[in-house]
Structure 1
Amino acid sequence: MLSLQQRAIAHLDLDCFFVSVECQQDSSLLGKPLLVGGSSDRAVVSACSYEARRYGIHSAMPMKTALRLCPHAIVRSGDMEAYSNKSREVTEIIADKAPLYEKSSIDEFYIDISGMDKFFGSLKWTTELRKTIMKESGLPISFGLASNKLVSKVATDEAKPNGQLEILFGEEKSFLAPLKIEKIPMVGKETAAQLRRRGVETVKTLSEVPVSLLEAWMGKHGISLWKKANGIDETPVIPYYEQKSISTENTFPVDTIDMEFMHAELVRMTEKIAFELRQQNKLTGCITVKIRYSDFETVTKQMSIPYCCADHILLEKVKELFKKLYDRRLLVRLIGVRFSHLVQGNYQISLFDDSQEMIALYQAIDQIKNRFGWEFLMKGTNVVPPEKKHLSRQKEITPYFKV
């Protein structure tokens, strides 16, 4: 295993990704306060331009609040299909050139270029890659280069907008030291407030707190914070494979042609693996539906979709695929659903047209499922009537809304 000194990790982040794509499609938006998100009073801001940020606007802020802060801001509803296509375009550029890369979200990448300095120079190679991405995609992108993923990510944030920054080996602590504690990844408002109550304002102060004391304050999270504050991160770059997937299938006890029952099963399976996506903080970019008939002939059909993990959006696509696929009208032995082309991300970015209530509903449902199990709360159409129980192994469930 390479030592930290031998490692060279680049973190690349497409600047204001959604906003940049919108500006690429409409150049009149350049240099203006732009908000991407739903247009209703109850919608939230999914992304905003740097010009909008000067008014105190940030992502996840209620759109109504954002427009009070900046009444002349321009609002775009968002085009997840365009964003997904651009993300795939940049991924292909990186995959063609990088020895080992990880797609950590729709607009972020880690690249392990350890050993590259012996041939081209790590900084030169990453700089050339950045230029290629900007030239071929037309989008601004920043990068940080360091000995580990943590420091490279923080360096990228400091290099924005549209810049680059290298942190040499041995300079990790001095680079992090003057930064506010919120600059450390995974330090949210609650953690920051807890640390500030104890007089910890900067990363330097955090790094000087005895690790045993931090553990007493925050448990294992305290140990992790101490390591981050000291620039320690041995997390490897995890190779990205497009075929990585989450799937489920059900072989029926009795072959069936009952469309109502199969529809309910599609709802159940889609809901199950969509919940798994959200648990893992991932989005899917491809859906596959599988049918096995009673004569054992197996057929599948798939479609690429804008990155998403919301039940109601995924279910619509699953039903569309099933309708196209089920054309023999024979008894069915098995059906399955698979989500692939996974990237990191949360459901807020795919719910541009949904209100705060819809986002809150998903959060509340997932909290209940986390506590009692995913089958405890399900959609109304997923409930199998008593007369069809012989077709299913389904447990007792509580329906929450009908699809």
Structure 2
Amino acid sequence: MADSESVLDYPIPNPTALEPPPEWARLRRECPVAKIRLPSGDEATLLTRYADVKQVLADPRFTRQLDTRAGAARVAANESGGVFNSSMASVIPQAGPGHRRWRTKVGRWFTAKRMAALRPRISAMAEQLIDEMVERGHPADLRAALGFPLPVWVICDLLGVPNSDRDRFSYWSDTLLNLTKYDQAEIDAAQAAFVEYMSAHVAARRAEPGDDLLSSLITEDAEDPMSDEELITTGLGLLVAGHETTANMIGKMVGMLLSDRSRWEQLLENPSLVRTAVEESLRFDANPGVGLPRFISEDIELSDTVVPGGTTVMCSMGAANRDENAFDHADEMDLSRSPNPHLAFGSGAHSCLGQALARTELQTVLDVLLRRLPTLELAVDASELERVEGLVVGGLATLPVRW
């Protein structure tokens, strides 16, 4: 049991892939501002209460770009390119007018209206992947067959990348989100290969614009153009933020819904619950990854504890989303829960830019699966599902299913 003096090793292990660590509840109750040791060996402070996590994530004073701050903790011994610490991250300002400019430009592509227009294309991609999975027969690994490829197909589509390069983008995404899975040489090589590819791709789009996000950023803002570096970094950000997280969430969402068969049956009987079921899956996710780090630049009081300036805090959205003070019956999965102000996409100025896209992908996948494979079920006991290890974002190593 944690107290204010003990130091917990972090991340805290889950008892199973779909269950939260029991420590989350104890920490929220007894030690909501806890000392932790990160995989790098550096110490930081863990926040587990909803109000504290939301406050820190929404506070513009606290930076997420840790490599600019002396004394900031490293999350892993070999940091990945583009998630927490990256020289490329400095191309796009992390706060202030420069950050708002970038978010405004890119955010035009991620409106709910635009995502709704994308839905038929996403649905067609899901149909194709399910066709191929069914043709191969069951049992099948739904993560490998559908969850992993679909989001990278969507990102490639947004960036105007040809279908033949989808596999390369999958590898780059996997590598750039590393904590322990790849060595530094592999990470550096992947980032270099990505930058080389995107440099050529941006040049091609400047010469011959298409109907994609990069082309629109090049052509629509002639008076305030983005530099090549900004466009390349935008591509990196979309790949890193938009692929692995959604890929893993597809697997976890379906795993949660099938682990208790009554949930799947409820959706079959009432498909109109798909939207709220997606939101509840995001809230209920017990394996969301390490959380979001922030560097506290000045003293702040959280849960009656003064956190001194110069502290790195890790915001656990997973623990916050199970906070009984924020959600009635927080430990129950309620597919009709509404409203559902979960923190899966963060909060404030740095909340996930692509959340409308993620929601569209998750809702579309669930719609298609319910229609195409109503008899879908887990091919193993839920307790046998294994977490994917070595990546910043949490997920299932495989999702064996049959139908």
TM-score when scaled to structure 1?
0.27
More helix by share: 2
Which has more strand, going by share of residues? 1
Larger Rg: 1
- TM-score relative to the length of structure 2: 0.27
With a CA cutoff of 8 Å and minimum separation of 6, indicate the structure with the bigger relative contact order.
2
